[in-house]
Amino acid sequence: MPTAFEMKRKNEAFAKNAREGRSTTKPSRAELAARKAPVSGTVLGVLAFVLVGGILFELVRIIFLK
């Protein structure tokens, strides 16, 4: 458990930040979720693989299989 001195020091730092207009709390879950990408990295990777692979197959078909 923190001592009275540590609590007083943390309260002073908190009050100082609040007076200066700095963010005094952690972002809420809703704010964090709003910043999150709607699609995961795995889905983006699979989509890129399919698109690039399709383009390569079409180029091979056009160039070599006229």
24-37 residue pLDDT tens: 677 778 887 777 77
What share of the chain has pLDDT > 70, as a percent?
97
Q: Side-chain half-sphere of 48: how many Cα atoms within 13 Å?
A: 7
Binning pLDDT at 50, 70 and 90, where does residue 55 land? very high
Query: If you average pLDDT over every residue of the chain, what do you get?
Result: 88
pTM for this model (two decimals): 0.45
What is the C-alpha separation between 62 and 56, in angstroms, rounded? 10
What is the C-alpha separation between 5 and 39, in angstroms, rounded? 47
| DSSP 8-state class, residue 3 | -
